[in-house]
Amino acid sequence: MLMWEFIIPLMAAAVQSGTPILYATLGEMMTEKGGVLNLGVEGIMAVAALAAFVTSFATGSPWLAFLAGGTAGLAFASLHAFVCITCLGNQVVSGLALTILGLGVSTFLGVPYVGLAAPGFDPFAFPLLSSIPVLGDIFFRQDMLVYISFVIPFFFWFFFRRTSLGLHVAATGEMPAAAAAAGLKPVALRYFAVLTGGFLIGLGGAYLSLAYTHLWTNGLSGGRGWIAVALVIFAFWRPGRAVIGAYLFGGVMAFQLRLQAMGTHIPSSLLLMLPYLLTILVLILSAWRGRRIDAPAALGTNIEPEA
């Protein structure tokens, strides 16, 4: 009874609300693998969510909108790449500036769209797989963007383990000087990491306005970008653990919404704290495991030009 009426729908909802976080976490992981810390995730997601919404609103094509979200993320992340990689600006402060700018831009340009709806992605039962008991109900009655997000971690793993470009990107994240000495181009590789990372983060933002809601409201990102930054640490820079982390957060968000909908006596402001408290808790737990060594060694440091 409880199982079918509460737990399975909750887990399915966890996958859905975890999906934007998963895209963003993988995007940030990609960026950090190349040695660049991007704290602009929250701002990038907000801008991408708006770009996707406006595109869908104007063209009626959700697919084009999804792509537009990714492209907007890439374009916005390129600002961070330029400031940090080319101008050697402080990565922490640049990321914060990007978040401020992104939240501002999305609110400013989003004014005429507040409360409007646009076509997006709807859940459908995936042929065959959705008839698997329990798992099918949780994972395969989702929208298309969720299915896409299932395969990205595998690509991610394959990219860093099996392709030379992936190895080169990881090398610039570990020891840019050595990578340069070995004939690689650390600057170009870092640009690649930040831009593809921005694209993935942008897809996460697009998910928010195209599938999570089909509406435009202010503050759609709601701290998910920051959660993604925390999850990269939690995941020890590994895509598999990012999936677990993202669904964990999706679960807490879904659980909290359900409790509110059921009319609990706990004030909503206290329930809304849960994901943020969990973020801190998750960081404490991952610190306990003491796996800081998994962080790219050159993360956060800029590459000085030869002079």
**Total number of residues binding another protein (CB under 8 A)?**
47
The interface with another protein within residues 188-227 (CB under 8 A) comprises 223, 226
- The token pair at 69 is 């979200």
Q: Is 115 in the site for another protein (CB under 8 A)?
A: no
User: Is residue 156 within 8 Å of residue 29, measured between CB atoms?
Assistant: yes
Going through the chain in order, the beta strands assigned E by DSSP cover none
One-letter amino acid at 208 equals L
Decide: 19 and 205 in contact? Cβ < 8 Å. Answer: no
58 vs 93, which CB is nearer to another protein? 93
CA atoms within 13 A on the CB side of 27: 36
Distance, CA of 243 to CA of 19 (rounded, Å): 9
**CA 85 and chain centroid, separation:** 22
C-beta of 132: minimal distance to another protein in Å?
A: 37
Q: Please report how close the Cβ of residue 7 comes to another protein at its closest, in angstroms.
A: 27
On whether the CB atoms of residues 283 and 233 are closer than 8 A, the answer is yes
- In one letter, which amino acid is 21? I
Exactly one of 45, 72, 118, 229 binds another protein (CB under 8 A); that residue is 229
Amino acid in position 198 = G
Q: Which is nearer to another protein, 171 or 232 (CB)?
A: 232
Q: Exactly one of 98, 193, 203, 206 binds another protein (CB under 8 A); which one?
A: 98
Among 100, 125, 132, 297, binds another protein (CB under 8 A): 100
Strand partners, 165: none
Q: Identify the residue among 6, 292, 294, 301 touching another protein (CB under 8 A).
A: 292
83 lies in the site for another protein, by CB under 8 A = yes
Q: How far is the CB of 282 from another protein (least distance, A)?
A: 10
Q: Find, among 78, 81, 64, the residue nearest to 206 by Cα.
A: 64
Which tokens hold the place of 59?
């063209």
Q: In whole angstroms, give the CA distance from residue 74 to residue 186.
A: 19
Query: Which residue from 4, 6, 7, 104 is in contact with another protein, where contact means CB under 8 A?
Result: 104
Distance between CA atoms of residues 10 and 212, nearest Å: 15
Of 44, 51, 72, 103, the one binding another protein (CB under 8 A) is: 103
Q: Which stretch binds another protein (CB under 8 A): 176-184, 236-244, 245-253, 281-289?
A: 281-289
Answer yes or no: are the C-beta atoms of 32 and 160 closer than 8 Å: no
Task: Report in angstroms how near the CB of residue 303 gets to another protein at its nearest.
Answer: 12
Q: Which two tokens stand for residue 132?
A: 């698997």
Any contact of residue 101 with another protein (CB under 8 A)?
A: yes
Q: Of 1 and 111, which has the nearer Cβ to another protein?
A: 111
Q: Are the C-beta atoms of residues 89 and 104 closer than 8 Å to each other?
A: no
- Contact between 180 and another protein per CB under 8 A: no
Interface with another protein (CB under 8 A) = 39, 43, 79, 82-83, 86-90, 92-94, 96-105, 107-108, 111, 223, 226, 229-230, 233, 267, 269-270, 272-273, 276-277, 279-280, 283-284, 287-288, 292, 305, 307
